[in-house]
Amino acid sequence: MFGKLFGRKDAQRPALPVIRNVTIGRTVVLDPLAWRRLGGEAKFALDRDTLEITAQGLIHLNDGAFVHRFYTDDEILFQVVSDDREGQRANDFTVFVPWASEYPADRADRDLWAERLRARTFQPEGLPEYRRLWFGEDAERQDPVTLWEDVYYDREGATPDRRLFQTTMLFHRELSGGEGRELLLALTAEPEDGDVTHETMIGLPLSVGEFKA
């Protein structure tokens, strides 16, 4: 997963934004009822409610929004989307847990994965079918989103420790009984100084009352 791709450097970097009091070296406390209420149908599972943040990612989207990512050592991801870099207009909160991480065997393997990202539905091994959330389901094929993520291990330096180019698509499924929505993030991660991997993560949307730091 992401953690395998990151190295550590001694370069100095500018302070990263602190989002809802979350940054490197702090903890995020989740309300476990956010996933325990979902029952047995949900595939999202988390064995604790406290996340110790050891890495922070920053993504600047083409529409001007920012994605703030906060990682634990075991690659759990707490994500915040905001209309501004400083996170004052944060409007979307999600926690993701890793499901699978694979190294493509060859070009054919990468091409097959790329086609799966374009499809209307996505079904990893061992999971149910998820439907495309980004861009809707009207188009049979849809190009995924591409972005750069700058990843830091120390919030006080001048440059990121790693930069990753990602090709990604978000899928979802509605749980029965109106219990909620489960997300699936599928992506190709291409670090500047590492091997390409195919990543799958299961996510859960959070309200502002379901976490604190």
pLDDT tens sequence across 73-127 = 999 999 999 999 999 999 999 999 999 999 999 999 999 999 999 999 999 999 9
Instruction: Dihedral sign for Cα 54, 101, 210, 59, please.
Output: positive
Domain range annotation of the chain: 2-212
1 or 113, which is more confident? 113
pTM equals 0.90
Task: Give the whole-angstrom CA distance, residue 44 versus residue 180.
Answer: 12
Q: Which two tokens stand for residue 161?
A: 């420790």
> Which pLDDT value is given to residue 1?
52
The pLDDT score that the predictor gives to residue 40 is 86
